[in-house]
Amino acid sequence: MTGPVWPRPGPTPPDPAMPPVPDPSRASRSSAKIVVAGGFGVGKTTFVGAVSEITPLRTEALMTEASTDVDDLGSTPDKETTTVAMDFGRVSLGDELILYLFGTPGQHRFWFMWDDLMRGAIGVVVLVDTRRLGDCFAAVDFVEDRGLNYIVAVNCFDGIARHGVQDVREALSIDPDVPVVLTDARQRESVKQTLIELVEHVLRQRRQPVGSPG
């Protein structure tokens, strides 16, 4: 499988000449994305909103219940479709680059859509509320399973970290390389710092060849 093909079945290989067509006059524009994951009510929307230049926008992602393999609803007209809300914010980094932040839908049964969301992402911030640590297990499972770059950010509700970073690290039993940081989802500076930690982490991973010791 080399890429999305429609209609299916049918030999319609993706045409390498397809867009994106770089427009010479605007070729310098580009975008990137970071995904914010975590359990219900952990502060994802607050986190996105703290740094976004727009009020987080809510979009409906419509999908079939069954699977991602169903490309053509026309062939299965009775298939249930459902919507999930996902919100996103925007941060302009200079004139040429726009960073989008996407808050994932928390419901487990929608996580099959994450692969699509994660494609091309810089990495993932897994937000954690230490009062309900278990709520983030599924998000950590997901990013680890997919081998995504991520950091864990403990959202200090009311400015208090009820458990230390080390406790969280142990409870999640995550790789020692994965940063665990404290954040305050309501504070722009704090959110900014958390995003910086993520990108620095990803850069470290990328510069260190896979499989090399240390």
Ligand X SMILES: Nc1nc2c(ncn2[C@@H]2O[C@H](COP(=O)(O)OP(=O)(O)OP(=O)(O)O)[C@@H](O)[C@H]2O)c(=O)[nH]1
Name residues contacting ligand X, limited to 67-86 (CB under 6 A). none
Q: Which residue has the tokens 């770089």?
A: 22
CA distance 63 to 9: 20
Cα–Cα dist 30/17, whole Å: 19
Q: Give the number of other CB atoms < 10 A from CB of residue 32.
A: 14
- Residues numbered 39 to 58 that lie near Mg ion (CB under 5 A) are 44-45
Query: Hey, which residues between 86 and 115 contact ligand X (CB under 6 A)?
Result: 103, 106
Site map (CB under 8 A) of other proteins, residues 22-61, x = contact: xx--xx-xxxxx-----------------x-----xxxxx
| Length of the chain in terms of residues written | 214
CA dist., res. 116 & res. 104, Å (int): 11
Regarding 114 and contact with other proteins (CB under 8 A), the answer is no
Is 62 a binder of other proteins (CB under 8 A)?
A: yes
Residue 40 vs 112, nearer CB to ligand X: 40
Question: What is the footprint of ligand X within residues 31-50 (CB under 6 A)?
Answer: 40-46
Measured from the CB atom, the residue of 70 and 111 that comes closer to Mg ion is 111
In contact, 118 and 35? CB cutoff 8 Å: yes
Q: Cis link prior to 7 (omega < 30° from 0)?
A: yes
Cα separation, 31 vs 174, whole angstroms:
30
Number of residues that bind other proteins (CB under 8 A): 65
Q: How far apart are CA 196 and CA 145, in angstroms?
A: 24
Closest CA to 59 of 120, 111, 101: 101
| Residue number with CB closer to other proteins (75 or 108) | 75
Which of 40, 41, 66, 72 is close enough to bind other proteins by CB under 8 A?
A: 72
Using CB under 5 A, list all residues that contact Mg ion: 44-45
Using CB under 8 A, list all residues that contact other proteins: 3-4, 6-7, 12, 14-15, 18-23, 26-27, 29-33, 51, 57-64, 70-75, 81-83, 85-86, 88, 90-91, 93-94, 97-100, 102, 116-117, 119-122, 192, 195-196, 199-200, 202-203, 206-207
